[in-house]
Structures are given as C-alpha cells and as structure tokens.
Amino acid sequence: MNDLILQAEEIFKNYRAVEAVKGVSLNIKKGELFGLVGPDGAGKTTLIRIFCGLLNPTSGSAKLFNLETSANKRKIQKKIGYLSQKFSLYRDLTVDENIEFFADIHEVRNYKKRRDELLDFTRLKPFRDRLAENLSGGMQQKLALACSLIHNPEILLLDEPTTGVDPLSRRDFWKILFSLKKQGMTILITTPYLGEAERCNRVALMNKGKILVTDEPEKIKNSINKKALEITCSPAIKCAEALKNKHGVDAQIFGDRIDVLIEENSDFNQYLETIKKNNLTIKNFNINKLSLENVFIHLIKQQDLKLARTQ
C-alpha cells in the first residue's frame, strides 16, 4: 500500500438533482501513467477536480499521499501539478512571465534555472518572449504543462490536455509525458481518445459517472473473450440490423464498416451468409483482435441494458 499515491473510495458527487459521479473507486500507484477515459459528460472533469481538492465529494473519500483531499487542500496542492481542461493562463503575458507568475504562486524563489530547463524540455525556449495568446494550441498546452511543473510536483493531473490539439502537437505532448514518466513522475490524464488510452500503464473506462472497468489496456481488450469480424458492406446500417436480428450479435458501425463482436471459436461464415441472404453487398472482411474502442462500446451497451432493466 505504500506505493499508492491516489486512493478513491466510493466517491459520489451530486449537483442538485444531477449525479455526476456515482460510486467511483480507484487507486493510482507511484510512477504510473494512468488514463481516465470516457466521452463528454462521463464525470472525468468532476473526478479530477475532486482529486485536486477543488471540489468536495458529496460522499466517499479521496486521498492523495494518504491525506484526505477535502481536509488538506493546501498541503496537497503543493505536491500536485494540475492542467485544466481549458487554457487558463494569462494571454497578455509572455511565456516567461506566465511561468514566473506560477513560480510566485507556488512560492518557488529561485525558479530561473528550473524555468530554463522546462523551456528546453518543452521546446518553448525560442518563444519565451511571445505572448501566450499568440501561441498555437499545442504550444499553449505545453506552456500550461511547464507552468504546472515549475514547483516539481510529485503527481501531475491533466484534464483532456490534447483535446482540440492538432495530431503532430498531440504526439509531441505525449513524448513529453513519456519523458516525465521515465523521470519517475506519476501522471493521471483524462482523455476522450481511446488511442491515447492505449499508451497508459492502466486505464479506467468511465461512462455516465461510473467506472466500467480498470486494468491494463491489453487485459481489458482480452477480458470479454471475443474477436472482431470486420466487414465493409453497403448499406452498413442494414447489414448491422440483419446480423443483430438473426444472431443477436453486437454489431458496431464505423462509416461503411461494421465490427461484429463474435466468440473466439465462432464460425464467421454464418454471418457472411446472413448478409448475402439479405441481398446486401460485402466488399471486404477480416478477422481482427478487439480494439479498446470495440470493448468500450460493448461495455457501454451492456451498461445501457442494465439501466433499461432497472427503469
């Protein structure tokens, strides 16, 4: 238990009649890169703000460094770096001035050497005199990251830092995160992108305020013991309906492609025959391992079915 940095036990958070977080429990280990993954409205931002001490849970407990977040906000906030969902730095200050401002907030006196290290690390040194508002979206996020690291925090909490960032800047940002992890930094990142989740040591898939599963990405993909029959057909919606009606399978539509989740030992030819019997055209098909996206969609559908049964 000594290697646990963050512990959450049965956290609920209500906003009047709205339940944003519904009984979330999870642990994050020292040096871990942990992904909290889910769509908009899943409760990720609410949860990460509770961990930062910015919100109090309605019930349950959150601990950082074995300290209750709601009762030890000042102590905890000195040990964490937090990057919020929206760019929250001062647009009319330069890169250098923003970092200096955050150094002052965190009472870092001799910050100049650390600032220069961070500017090198994030490759922002050539832009140190540029106003924050004149930086690209990716550079703004790297500046926000540098500001969150100026006081050498023990854990970094990042709320959707790559949303709206171009693919090259997103890749650059992840390279920086991997470098931080190699240095021993503990990182919690929220993201709506399943591809990013694949890069984490462990992930928690979250939807409608609940954690559906927590594990290593590869173990999550193997957890439902299925494979994906990838079919490119036209029209895709009718193909999916035919397969659901005949076989009761989970058929997930991606444009003109359908991923049909079938048992490991299942004969896929029966599904192709069903499509042909419905006078639908198959352009191509493959048998693939499940992606994290396949599993997440499958778990969300199961969650919806459970909710429907209880209503």
Nearest to 155 by CA among 184, 198, 113: 184
pTM strictly above 0.85: yes
Pairing state between β 4-15 and 18-29 = antiparallel
Q: What are the distances in angstroms from CA 264 to CA 24, 29, 65, 163, 229? A: 32, 33, 43, 35, 10
Q: Which residues pair with 147 in a beta bridge?
A: none
Q: What is the pLDDT of residue 148?
A: 93
The CATH class of the 225-289 domain is alpha beta
Section 131-147 average pLDDT: 92
Q: Which residue type does 28 have?
A: I
Q: What percentage of the chain has pLDDT greater than the value 90?
A: 77
Q: What percentage of the chain has pLDDT greater than the value 70?
A: 99
**C-alpha span between 148 and 98 (Å, rounded):** 11
**C-alpha span between 32 and 141 (Å, rounded):** 21
Q: What is the pLDDT of residue 291?
A: 92
- pLDDT of 147-185, one tens digit each? 999 999 999 999 999 888 888 888 899 999 999 999 999
Residue 177, token pair as written in the block: 């995160």
Q: What is the pLDDT of residue 81?
A: 93
Q: What is the pLDDT of residue 2?
A: 61
**C-alpha span between 4 and 27 (Å, rounded):** 7
The pair phi, psi for residue 81, each rounded to 5°, is: -110, 130
Cβ partners under 8 Å of residue 46, min gap 6: 13, 20, 21, 55
| Domain limits, CATH 3.40.50.300, in the chain | 4-220
Burial class (CB in 10 A: 0-12, 13-18, 19+), 250: buried
Average pLDDT, the chain: 92
pLDDT of 1 strictly over 80: no
Residue with the two structure tokens 């693919």: 167
DSSP string, the chain: -TTEEEEEEEEEEEETTEEEEEEEEEEEETT-EEEEE--TTSSHHHHHHHHTTSS--SEEEEEETTEETTT-HHHHHTTEEEE-SS--S-TTSBHHHHHHHHHHHTT-SS-HHHHHHHHHHTT-GGGTTSBGGGS-HHHHHHHHHHHHHTT--SEEEEESTTTT--HHHHHHHHHHHHHHHHTT-EEEEEES-HHHHTTSSEEEEEETTEEEEEE-HHHHHHTT-EEEEEEEEESHHHHHHHHHHHH--EEEEETTEEEEEEETT--THHHHHHHHHTT-EEEEEEEEPPPHHHHHHHHHHHHHHHHHHH-
Section 41-61 average pLDDT: 94
Section 22-45 average pLDDT: 95
Section 203-223 average pLDDT: 95
**C-alpha span between 38 and 299 (Å, rounded):** 12
- pLDDT of 266-291, one tens digit each? 889 999 999 999 999 899 999 999 99
Nearest to 258 by CA among 240, 246, 278: 240
| Domain limits, CATH 3.30.70.100, in the chain | 225-289
| Domain formed by 4-220, architecture | 3-Layer(aba) Sandwich (3.40)
Q: What is the pLDDT of residue 67?
A: 93
